């Protein structure tokens, strides 16, 4: 491995070259705009990789279906408005964490693909994988067993309790009981009488009631009673629940025996998959030395969790530094064919759209012991413009301190952070307090000030909010709810006062998310969203979504739109408070959308994806000197894709897509070809070609555009990567006798450098 000095010289050399060439780098900087981080949880024979987002996402599909060196995951934003505010660059990346069963080369997010937002995971060697929705709906989970397929390595092993920063409960420290007796002897043979059927059903019902009341000892007695009868319709479920109950009681050896007995007697079916997952978790947890807190459900962003805990305080530091240069310029030529040419006129118009150097830094420090776990997170960037009017701007996306106290089940986080649940609408400066009151209930309190722009300092606006929420899991691990109240003030005015709820369902094949946000101040429904997906036995996926919301979100400060005044107090000198609320409603449209997506793997090489979306934004009313805005009317978007892998070389990916947009004023047709070709393990090529044709509906205007590009990625080491991308856009617009021709050119050049250190391994450069 190269020395730190050698790495530093290479990094410094490239930065000098970037500035000299005036080309902006993007080896995909770590910006914390879309992606929040990647963590790995290790279980027996399985690495679970969780990639977090700053907004809610719905898993659509992935390709290839089961194995390869590159994995593309297609997602959709559940909150379109929040996602639009976060997605400010075309591409973003994460520092790749270490994983026992997968060597991850890179993680990146790209937003301009024809299939929609795409999360790509690049592995250094071919591995098997399975992909699923994170149960918190702000993450995607990838289960990687390694170079061999596994039926027990499933994304569903990572439950919401593992994804959120909750502490292991103290009962996890109980000592294991002595080895249990063989459970299979309880399953009796013989005929089942009517009386036995009734008694078994009654005992099963009472056992479920006891479980709901957390009367675990009584539940064990009743489930054992059910299993004492000859085989019946409740036997399989009773044996599964008996293992679950013993696991909850801390009797892991007993639970292991029950699960093993279940798999012997019922080796197939949905229940068997659930039991295999639970058994895998127990096998991993038993690696933990006695007297230590179990860590099988804890994730680390830098190294895979081994399930073992060191004495004293453990610490780690990791992060990324990147330098990227962007240059984008165009030459436009205007001609009017109805006029004779003017030899003295320069028909060319040259513009430089972008000539910037982007420096980004992401940093995480963690430390923990048997009593608490803490971390500091920072993500920020500096953008230096090189044109005459170029600005030097610094922005902070994230800066917070988080601490969780193990024995109190308490978590606190203070600073600039992002939250999209409990009524909070994105990034804010403030504090969060969460208490895990029981296995089913978590209480949350939040106070802070919204952050509209990452370049803003803390508490720059006279805005603050406070809110409370309850996360409640009423039935089982597959279903949970959140209920919230939030109040926001602006200059002493009630800006927003809302109540609402979120419902989340998650299992091996189906996911569902729904949320409602009702504003008490206006007496209006602010948001209603539904999103769901269903994975069928043939691995095809059906995804549905529906969205009804105020656009923008309903606030009293919406009344300032179009006004010469900067604050509500000045506006109060002209209008009453009731009038201000009415004007705010007049400035707020209602958007509605519905989408359906379907993907199906044809075989190991090919997959097809289809999507259709309907969208409408209502009109706004004229008032307070501001004109009305007309409705967009119904707009429709359709897309189809064919994906192929291993066509020319093992690990390559070819994508061909078509898209049709039926918009209010025009029809737009797009054809896109995209290829990812691995030349070597370290060097990748990504040629792309796009054709777009737009035809106006109410005049004879049209536009034809061709966009070729080539991108090169080179992983010099596991911690230092380079990227170069160059492309062009040629477009021809015709409107009557006017011909507008534009030639646009862009180049992206940059590098990213990752670092890591902890108490055992020291620095890794």
The string of pLDDT tens digits covering residues 574-588 is: 888 889 999 999 999
Burial of 578 (0-12, 13-18, 19+ CB in 10 A): exposed
The CATH number covering residue 214 comes to: 1.25.40.10
Reported as type and span, the H/E element at residue 252 is helix 252-265
Residue of 733 and 94 predicted with greater confidence: 733
Q: Is the pTM of this model over 0.75?
A: no
Residue with tokens 């179009």: 562
Q: 3-state DSSP helix/strand/coil percent for the chain, to nearest 5?
A: 20, 50, 35
What are the backbone angles phi and psi of residue 163, rounded to the nearest 5°? -85, -30
Check whether residue 147 and residue 59 sit in a common domain.
Answer: yes
**pLDDT of 174 higher than 60:** no
Check whether residue 152 and residue 198 sit in a common domain.
Answer: no
Q: Within a domain: residue 66?
A: yes
Q: Within a domain: residue 196?
A: yes
Check whether residue 187 and residue 119 sit in a common domain.
Answer: no
Cβ neighbour number for residue 501 with a 10 Å cutoff: 17
pLDDT at 158: 66
Domain enclosing residue 114, as ranges:
31-164
**pLDDT of 90 higher than 80:** no
Check whether residue 145 and residue 219 sit in a common domain.
Answer: no
Q: What is the dihedral of CA 34, 680, 129, 308, to 10 degrees?
A: -80
The CATH number covering residue 109 comes to: 2.60.40
For the stretch 352-382, pLDDT in tens is 888 999 999 988 999 988 888 999 999 999 9
pLDDT at 425: 87
Mean pLDDT of 432-446: 92
Mean pLDDT of 247-266: 81
Q: Within a domain: residue 226?
A: yes
Burial of 745 (0-12, 13-18, 19+ CB in 10 A): middle
Check whether residue 100 and residue 203 sit in a common domain.
Answer: no
Check whether residue 134 and residue 251 sit in a common domain.
Answer: no
For the stretch 203-253, pLDDT in tens is 888 888 888 777 888 888 888 888 888 888 888 888 889 988 888 877 787
Domain boundary among 164, 192, 210: 164
pLDDT at 3: 42
pLDDT at 85: 65
Domain boundary among 285, 314, 344: 285
Check whether residue 46 and residue 119 sit in a common domain.
Answer: yes
Q: Within a domain: residue 101?
A: yes
Cis peptide before 64 (omega within 30 of 0): yes
Check whether residue 145 and residue 66 sit in a common domain.
Answer: yes
Check whether residue 184 and residue 90 sit in a common domain.
Answer: no
Do the beta carbons of residue 300 and residue 315 sit within 8 Å? no
**pLDDT of 392 higher than 90:** no
Check whether residue 142 and residue 251 sit in a common domain.
Answer: no
Mean pLDDT of 404-419: 92
Mean pLDDT of 28-40: 71
Q: Within a domain: residue 95?
A: yes
Check whether residue 195 and residue 244 sit in a common domain.
Answer: yes
Overall number of domains in the chain: 2
Please tell me the distance from the alpha carbon of residue 28 to that of residue 30, in angstroms, as a whole number.
Answer: 7
Q: Within a domain: residue 274?
A: yes
Domain boundary among 285, 320, 349: 285
Burial of 158 (0-12, 13-18, 19+ CB in 10 A): buried
Check whether residue 109 and residue 211 sit in a common domain.
Answer: no
Q: Within a domain: residue 238?
A: yes
pLDDT at 706: 96
Of 194-198, 207-211, 267-271, 737-741, give the lowest mean pLDDT range.
267-271
pLDDT at 23: 31
Q: Within a domain: residue 158?
A: yes
The band of 187, judged by pLDDT with boundaries at 50, 70 and 90, is very low
Mean pLDDT of 538-556: 92
């Amino acid at each position: 491995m190269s020395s730190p000095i050698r790495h530093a010289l290479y990094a410094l050399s490239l930065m000098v070259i970037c500035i000299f060439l005036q080309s902006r780098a993007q080896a995909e900087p770590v910006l914390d705009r879309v992606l929040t981080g990647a963590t790995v949880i290790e279980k027996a024979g399985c690495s679970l990789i969780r990639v977090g987002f700053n907004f809610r996402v719905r898993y659509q599909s992935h390709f290839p279906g089961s194995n390869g060196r590159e994995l593309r995951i297609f997602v959709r934003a559940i909150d379109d408005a929040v996602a639009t505010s976060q997605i400010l660059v075309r591409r973003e990346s994460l520092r790749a964490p270490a994983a026992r069963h997968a060597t991850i080369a890179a993680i990146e997010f790209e937003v301009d693909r024809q299939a929609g937002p795409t999360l790509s995971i690049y592995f250094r060697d071919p591995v098997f994988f399975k992909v699923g929705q994170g149960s918190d709906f702000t993450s995607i989970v990838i289960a990687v067993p390694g170079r061999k397929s596994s039926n027990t390595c499933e994304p569903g092993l990572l439950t919401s309790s593992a994804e959120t920063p909750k502490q292991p409960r103290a009962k996890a420290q109980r000592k294991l009981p002595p080895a249990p007796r063989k459970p299979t002897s309880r399953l009796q043979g013989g005929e089942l009488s009517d009386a036995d059927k009734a008694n078994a059903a009654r005992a099963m019902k009472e056992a479920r009631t006891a479980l709901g009341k957390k009367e675990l000892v009584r539940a064990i007695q009743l489930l054992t009673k059910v299993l004492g009868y000859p085989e019946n319709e409740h036997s399989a479920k009773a044996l599964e629940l008996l293992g679950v109950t013993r696991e909850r009681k801390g009797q892991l050896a007993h639970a292991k025996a029950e699960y093993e007995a279940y798999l012997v007697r019922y080796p197939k079916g949905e229940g068997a998959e659930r039991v295999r997952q639970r058994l895998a978790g127990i096998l991993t947890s038993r690696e933990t030395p006695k007297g230590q807190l179990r860590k099988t459900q804890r994730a680390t962003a830098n190294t895979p969790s081994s399930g073992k805990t060191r004495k004293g305080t453990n610490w780690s530091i990791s992060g990324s530094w990147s330098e990227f240069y962007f240059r984008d310029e165009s030459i436009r030529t205007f001609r009017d064919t109805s006029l004779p040419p003017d030899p003295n006129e320069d028909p060319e118009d040259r513009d430089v759209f972008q000539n910037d150097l982007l420096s980004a830094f992401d940093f995480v420090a963690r430390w923990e012991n048997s009593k608490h776990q803490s971390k500091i997170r920072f993500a920020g960037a500096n953008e230096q413009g090189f044109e005459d009017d170029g600005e030097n701007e610094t922005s902070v996306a994230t800066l917070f301190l988080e601490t969780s106290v193990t024995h109190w089940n308490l978590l606190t986080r203070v600073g600039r952070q992002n939250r999209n649940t409990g009524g909070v609408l994105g990034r804010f400066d403030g504090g969060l307090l969460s208490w895990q009151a029981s296995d089913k209930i978590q209480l949350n309190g939040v106070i802070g000030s919204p952050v509209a722009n990452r370049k803003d300092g803390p508490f720059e606006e006279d805005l603050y909010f406070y809110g409370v929420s309850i996360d409640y899991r009423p039935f089982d691990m597959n279903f949970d709810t959140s209920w919230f109240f939030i109040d926001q003030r602006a200059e002493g005015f009630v800006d927003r006062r809302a109540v609402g709820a979120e419902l989340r369902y998650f299992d091996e094949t189906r996911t569902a998310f729904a949320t409602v946000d009702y504003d008490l101040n206006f007496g209006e429904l602010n948001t209603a969203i539904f999103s769901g997906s269903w994975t069928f036995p043939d691995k095809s996926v059906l995804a549905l979504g529906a969205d009804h919301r105020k656009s923008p979100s309903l606030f009293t400060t919406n009344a300032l739109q179009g006004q010469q005044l900067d604050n509500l107090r000045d506006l109060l000198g002209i209008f009453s408070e009731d009038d201000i609320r009415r004007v705010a409603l007049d400035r707020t449209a209602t958007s509605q959308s519905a989408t359906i997506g379907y993907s199906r793997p044809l075989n190991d090489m090919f997959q097809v994806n289809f999507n259709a979306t309907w969208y409408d934004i209502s009109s706004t009313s004229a008032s307070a000197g501001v004109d009305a805005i007309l409705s967009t009317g119904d707009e429709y978007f359709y897309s189809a894709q064919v994906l192929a892998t291993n066509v020319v070389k093992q690990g390559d990916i070819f994508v061909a897509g078509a898209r049709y947009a039926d918009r209010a004023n025009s029809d737009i047709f797009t054809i896109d070809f995209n290829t990812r070709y691995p030349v070597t393990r370290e060097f990748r090529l990504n040629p792309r070609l796009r054709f777009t044709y737009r035809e106006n509906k109410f005049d004879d205007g049209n536009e034809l555009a061709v966009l070729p590009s080539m991108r090169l990625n080179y992983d010099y080491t596991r911690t230092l990567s380079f990227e170069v991308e160059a492309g062009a856009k040629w477009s021809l617009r015709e409107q009557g006798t006017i011909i507008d021709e534009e030639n646009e050119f862009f180049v992206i050049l940059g590098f990213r450098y990752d670092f890591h250190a902890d108490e055992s391994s020291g620095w890794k450069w």
